[in-house]
Structure 1
Amino acid sequence: MRRTLVVLLVSTLAFGLSACGGTGAPASPAASQDDCPAASAPLASLDLVKNVRAAKGQSTACLPSHAIEPVADETAPKLPVTVTDSEGREVTVTDADRILPIDISGTISSTVFALGLGDRVVGRDSSTDFPGTEELPVVTKSGHTLNAEAILELAPTVVLTDTTIGPKEVRQQLRDAGIAVVVISSDRRLDTTDELVTEIAAALGVPSRGKALIERLDAGLDDAITQIAEVTPAAESDRARMLFLYVRGSANVYYIFGEDSGADSLIDAVGGIDVAGEIGWQGMKPMTAEALVEAQPDVIVMMTDGLESVGGVDGLIERIPAVAQTPAGAHRRVIDMADTEVLSFGPRSADVVLAIARALYAPETTK
């Protein structure tokens, strides 16, 4: 079932992004530490709201502006290596000198950089925009569609991708050109990050680096969860009721992300209550006014470009009148985060979780 949900997410995101006029770069820059200087501050040190359910106004969650730190392990890739990718193909990688990591969220590329192989990356997808990647050529020049010519011009020796980006005919074209193409699992959740790292590290012949990265990421996430637990209301009735709403106003796309969508794991991690799951909402499905009113969220979580596509909070309430019938609408309580960050579980998972938590519990410190 989870694979079906991933396919649905991909089609929804790809349609929405192309409808917004994808240009090969993110539609708007992610908020940086300059925009919210508390992005690296311990959560408990901030000015926390007394009643998280009654907080008002919009908050933008943002990540620290630092580059992705590579692992200390510098073990050289041991190649050739043969792996079975997520589509069941046996792929032999003989050369990892020119790596091209591409997916819809930029997660694969951030993982390659975290493994300490960023200096071997020759190109990027339009969602890869973290520090250190600005000069890399974009190979998804039409929204999030692969450009075979642009890829072949870069002469990659190995392409790491997944089914969130296509078309699949381009992947086959690359194989026919003699390039090793490894399809990584598309399942993006907090609890699948270790598997993602293992797959990528194995394909690049650096399993020990993968283990070192997993240890670091697990420790970082554990620390984030500990910080959040210290400020999460003890009583469940006092915890924020949260709902993830995916919107592309120009295309009239309105989806609620529920159980097994990835958004639920994010809400759980920040100590919120996933109200979509509470009403039995499975996966990602078109929003209905009835579901929104039944869920009664205190907080609506959105992608920044999605919120902008409907004209901000005012436009959201105008376009979706049911929002006004929820506490979130009454309090204009929306948390937004950059499209390329909010569900990009991977090396930045801990930072993403803490960013949402800061916007939830200390909204005045965010943008």
Structure 2
Amino acid sequence: MIERGPQRPGGNAAAPVVSRSLAALVSLVVLVLLAAGCGLSSPSEAGSDGPEGGGCAGTPAPVLAEVDALDDPRSWDGPASPVLGSCDVRPVAGGARPQLPVTLSDAQGTRVTINDTSRILALDVYGTLARTVFELGLGDSVVGRDISTQFPDAADLPLVTQNGHDLAAEAILDLDPTVILTDTSLGPWDVILQMRDAGIPVVVTDSERSLDNVDDLTRQVAAALGVPQAGRALVERTTAELAQVQQQISDVAPSDVQDQLRTVFLYVRGQSGVYYMFGEGSGADSLIDALGAYDVAEEIGWSGMKPVTDEGIVAAQPDLVLMMTGGLDSVGGVDGLLERLPALAQTPAGEHRRFVDMADSEILGFGPDSASVLNALAVALYAPGALS
């Protein structure tokens, strides 16, 4: 609920709460991994500390409707690494003028009043919040970034994360932000409490990430920054683009379940010995469904995120494995992964080396560029020969 009017006292300093939606397990498990030093790839893991690590370099995947799809999506041997190519921001409302003050209850129920959006920090483990702020037309007001915010327009902004995804209180305070947007995917949480104690309005958005709530997250960000009209415009554009890509996918994806690619999503961090399979309610399931593939997790009752087991891999028998590029790199590519998970080598995906990886900050970001992500992945699944 949003109210406009005089400033009210800031909200309480409650500890983070997990979304009731099962998909919020994404944030919960990521927090556990972060605590163990196993978060999304840092420069040392992915081999890059610039925009290239976000998949913005390279030849972009063509439009799915403009390439010849395979008659049988199982008739190719991988791997494939689709990239978005251009990651240019496309603001829906250049020069947007926030209508302030705004008073709202954030995703945790904390009461927050925002009087000034001239110095914005938007921080989460996938870089989705910052991208949304830029697409709303407020990129010029963003003063810093997290390691996952790697698109070119934000590349020169100072980092406020260290050791991967740890928030650095001193770095944040040095930037003198007038508002901070975040969720529960970054820590330590004490840093967020410290920012509130310093008098900085902190708005905690929904931590759930899936194709089902892209619109809701966009509206939350737009409302907090006083640009609801730009938020509506961005929602309409994103919805239309997703619908167009999904129609193109439906034109080439097998309609019979038995012909669809049996697909799983693996989250891997070789340096830390982390091997997870993402199941129902993880966000990866909505991606697999949107690609017209068969989500094996539902069949084998794999909910949320769990460590990979030989039994789980054997039961899944995937035709295709989706991964983050940083994760695949961390185990030495496909050969290294099959060596570490020998049961995977005995599956159709392993035998045919059908592994599709995409930049960590994109594949499960579920933000304004979701249609481009979906298109690039769909080309990899149904027309891999069209990728350069």
TM-score by length of 2: 0.89
Aligned to 1:184: 205
Please tell me whether the aligned partners of residues 38 and 274 of structure 2 are also in contact (alpha carbons under 8 angstroms).
no
CA distance in 2, matches of 1:219, 1:125: 29
**TM-aligned CA distance change 1:15 to 1:365, over 3 Å:** farther
Letter in 1 for 2:300: I
Write the distance in 2 (CA, Å) between the matches of 1:271 and 1:44.
Answer: 15
Q: CA-to-partner distance for each residue in 1:305-342, whole Å, 9 max, x for gaps?
A: 11111111111111101111110001011000111111
Map 1:1-367; keep pairs closer than 5 Å: 1-2=21-22, 5-14=25-34, 18=38, 22-23=42-43, 27-28=47-48, 29-30=52-53, 35-37=58-60, 39=61, 41-72=62-93, 74-367=95-388
Is contact 1:74–1:209 with CA below 8 Å preserved after alignment? no
State whether residues 56 and 84 of structure 2, in contact with CA within 8 Å, keep that contact through their aligned partners in structure 1: yes
Residue 134 of structure 1: CA displacement?
Answer: 1.0
- Rounded to whole Å, the distance in 2 between the matches of 1:144 and 1:268 is 29
- State the percentage of identical aligned residues: 53
The CA deviation at 1:213 is 0.7
Q: Greater CA deviation, 73-82 or 110-119?
A: 73-82
Size of the alignment, in residue pairs? 365
Cα deviation digits, residues 179-232 of structure 1 (max 9, x gap): 111111100010101110111111101111111111111001001101111111
Higher mean C-alpha deviation, range 335-344 or range 13-22: 13-22
Classify the secondary structure of the residue corresponding to 2:362.
coil
Structure 1 stretch displaced more, 104-113 or 230-239: 230-239
Distance in 2 between residues matched to 1:206 and 1:90, nearest whole Å:
19
**CA–CA distance in structure 1, aligned partners of residues 170 and 191 of structure 2:** 10
AA aligned to 1:215 is E
Separation in 2 of the partners of 1:12 and 1:339?
17
Q: Which amino acid aligns with 1:77?
A: P
How far 1:235 sits from its partner (Å)? 2.1
Amino acid at match of 2:232: K
SS at match of 1:52: coil
State the one-letter code of the partner of 2:303: Q
Amino acid at match of 2:42: G
Deviation at 1:33, TM superposition (A): 6.7
Check whether the contact 2:96–2:137 (CA below 8 A) recurs between aligned residues: no
For residues 98-149 of structure 1, the C-alpha deviation after alignment (integer angstroms, 9 at most, x for no partner) is 0010110000000000100001000000000112111100100221010000
Q: In structure 2, how many angstroms separate the alpha carbons of the residues matched to 1:302 and 1:21?
A: 12
Secondary structure of 2:156's aligned partner: coil
Cα offset, 1:87, TM superposition: 1.2
| Deviation of the 1:250 alpha carbon | 1.2
Query: Per the alignment, in what secondary structure is the counterpart of residue 36 of structure 1?
Result: coil
Q: For residues 74-114 of structure 1, what are the alpha-carbon distances to aligned partners after superposition, in whole Å with 9 as ceiling and x for unaligned? A: 55111111010111110000000000101100000000001
Q: Structure 1: where are the runs of 5+ without partners?
A: none
- Deviation for aligned residue 1:366: 2.6
Question: For residues 346 and 17 of structure 1, do their structure 2 counterparts lie closer, same or farther at Cα, with a shift above 3 Å needed?
Answer: farther
Looking at structure 2, the residues matched to 189 and 304 of structure 1 have their Cα atoms a distance apart, in angstroms, of 19
Measure how far apart 1:66 and its partner are.
3.6
Distance 2:249 2:183 in 1: 32
Scaled by the length of structure 1, the TM-score of the pair is: 0.94
Structure 1 position 32, deviation (Å): 5.0
Of 227-236 and 335-344, more deviation after overlay is shown by 227-236
Aligned-partner residue type, residue 256 of structure 1: M
Relative to structure 1, is the Cα distance of residues 197 and 281 closer, same or farther in structure 2, using a 3 angstrom cutoff?
A: same
For the 8 Å contact 1:317–1:324, the answer to whether it is kept is yes
Work out the CA distance in 1 between the residues paired with 2:360 and 2:223. 28
1:36 partner letter: T
Q: 1:34 to 1:10 in 2, by over 3 A?
A: closer
Q: Does structure 2 conserve the Cα–Cα contact (< 8 Å) formed by 1:164 and 1:186?
A: yes
The amino acid of 2:108's aligned partner reads E
How far, CA to CA, are the matches of 1:21 and 1:274 in structure 2?
Answer: 25
2: distance between equivalents of 1:308 and 1:24? Answer: 11
* Alpha-carbon separation, structure 1, partners of 2:323 and 2:152: 23
Change (3 A) 1:34 1:157: closer
Cα distance change of structure 1 residues 24 and 320 upon mapping to structure 2, 3 Å threshold: closer
Listed one character per residue, the Cα deviations across residues 234-274 of structure 1 (whole Å, up to 9, x for unaligned) are: 32211111100111111111100010100000000110001
**Matched residue type, 1:255:** Y
Q: 1:53, 1:191 → 2: CA distance?
A: 28
Residues 23 and 232 of structure 1: CA distance in aligned 2, closer, same or farther (over 3 Å): closer
